[in-house]
Amino acid sequence: MSLNKDNYCIIMAGGIGSRFWPVSKTKKPKQFIDVLGVGESLLQTTYKRFERLCPKENIYIVTNKQYRDIVFEQLAGIDRECVLLEPIRRNTAPCVAYADFKIRRKNPNAKIVVAASDHLITDEDEFISILEKAFAAVERDDVLITLGIKPTFPNTGFGYIQYVDNGQYGMDEDVKKVKLFTEKPEYNMAVQFVKSGDFLWNAGIFVWSLRSIDKAMKEFLPDVYELFSKGENIYNTDAEEAFIEETYAACPSISIDYGVMEKASNVYVIPSGFGWNDIGTWAALYSVRKKDAEGNAVVGRNVLTYDTRNCLIDMPKDKLVVLQGLEDFIIVESDNILMICRKGEEQRIKEFVTDVEIEKGTEYL
């Protein structure tokens, strides 16, 4: 099947995944690891997913420059011009701006999907179908589209999107006008969101035409736009690396959500149900992993459990581990680090990481 030459994808792969410590570390974060036990990293799975929608030469990876070698190792054959290396982390708006200007040099008619490198999608056929619908809408008109996930429970770990139920876009009743974006809510508020029926989980997946995001960034992020526009004749030349070093140093750290999507009036959402999970925490990973009769999700062929229930156990394949009397724990070993933490306390992992850095240095991070 031939793919539309105007279809482009930006895969954001620069995070450090600190909530997945100790498996995810600064030198090799979550997106480069096979956390699902499927034989390939999350980045590799994500890349293959978008190969169904976009020509290979139109799929861009944006990551930190320290992960350059990992990306080329995991995505053998990828065009070097399609791997964008950030010198420092500046959140998602500069990431999007950098990729958009690179794409504009190739194709001013581009339609672009922006997505994270480390999300799980179980119904890929439905996902591709929804993206094709979104591409059709952004090709037709000046709109910015985000994908919202129909909530199945009051999750306090996601942002939410409220839509106007009668605010259909054009002739497609599946595309709704966005009323507001809200940050991660308290539990009682999340319950109300789910009950209302007009709130969706924010999946952080965006679709727009190059022209529309260009216009929006000029209006809402003029400083960022101006910084990257100075390189109009530098992108895809030997001078690009030095220009990007200088540009990122001057760039504010701001998300595309806050910088553009929450401010623009032409933002629409497609309510979706394609088996999405951001796998942002150990609890999220536990929810999608296969479990034994006692509710334990076990990785490691030499693990024996006794009177142990509802635990996530991730152990090296060559280590014998015997567990007795545990319930609702995360037990993870990676390299020379063992972490045992109650599932209900996993929000403290970032605290643990900070304390490890203070007490033991960066060796374990």
Structure tokens at 52: 């169904």
- What is residue 72's three-state secondary structure? helix
217 with 342, same domain: the answer is no
In the prediction, which pLDDT does 169 show? 65
333 within some domain: yes
Closest CA to 193 of 256, 151, 254, 247: 151
Closest CA to 112 of 12, 243, 181: 12
275 within some domain: no
* 171 pLDDT more than 60: no
Query: Could you report the per-residue pLDDT of 227-237, keeping only the tens digit for each?
Result: 999 998 999 89
11 with 51, same domain: the answer is yes
In the prediction, which pLDDT does 99 show? 97
121 with 11, same domain: the answer is yes
192 within some domain: no
212 with 86, same domain: the answer is yes
237 with 351, same domain: the answer is no
130 with 62, same domain: the answer is yes
- 236 dihedral zone (left: phi>0; alpha: psi -120 to 50; beta): left
Closest CA to 114 of 100, 127, 126: 100
Q: Which distant-in-sequence residues (6+ apart) come within 8 Å of 164 by Cβ?
A: 176, 177, 178, 179, 198
Residue ranges with strand state E in 246-290: 267-272, 276-277
Structural domain for 304, as ranges: 291-364
Domain termination site, one of 230, 265, 300: 265
223 within some domain: yes
CATH code for the domain of 111: 3.90.550.10
Query: Could you report the per-residue pLDDT of 38-79, keeping only the tens digit for each?
Result: 899 999 999 999 999 999 999 999 999 999 999 999 999 899
Average pLDDT over residues 310-320: 92
44 with 93, same domain: the answer is yes
In the prediction, which pLDDT does 201 show? 95
100 with 59, same domain: the answer is yes
Instruction: State the pairing for strand pair 59-64/83-86.
Output: parallel
pLDDT band at 17 (very low <50, low <70, confident <90, very high): confident
Q: Are 234 and 240 in contact (CB under 8 A)?
A: yes
Q: Are 128 and 275 in contact (CB under 8 A)?
A: no
235 within some domain: yes
153 within some domain: no
Structural domain total, the chain: 2
182 within some domain: no
| Residue appearing with tokens 């400083």 | 223
In the prediction, which pLDDT does 170 show? 63
Query: Could you report the per-residue pLDDT of 243-291, keeping only the tens digit for each?
Result: 999 999 999 999 999 999 999 999 999 999 999 998 888 988 999 899 9
In the prediction, which pLDDT does 16 show? 86
Average predicted confidence (pLDDT) for the chain: 93
91 with 229, same domain: the answer is yes
229 with 359, same domain: the answer is no
Query: Could you report the per-residue pLDDT of 182-199, keeping only the tens digit for each?
Result: 988 899 999 999 998 899
Instruction: Compute how many other C-beta atoms are within 10 angstroms of the C-beta atom of residue 333.
Output: 18
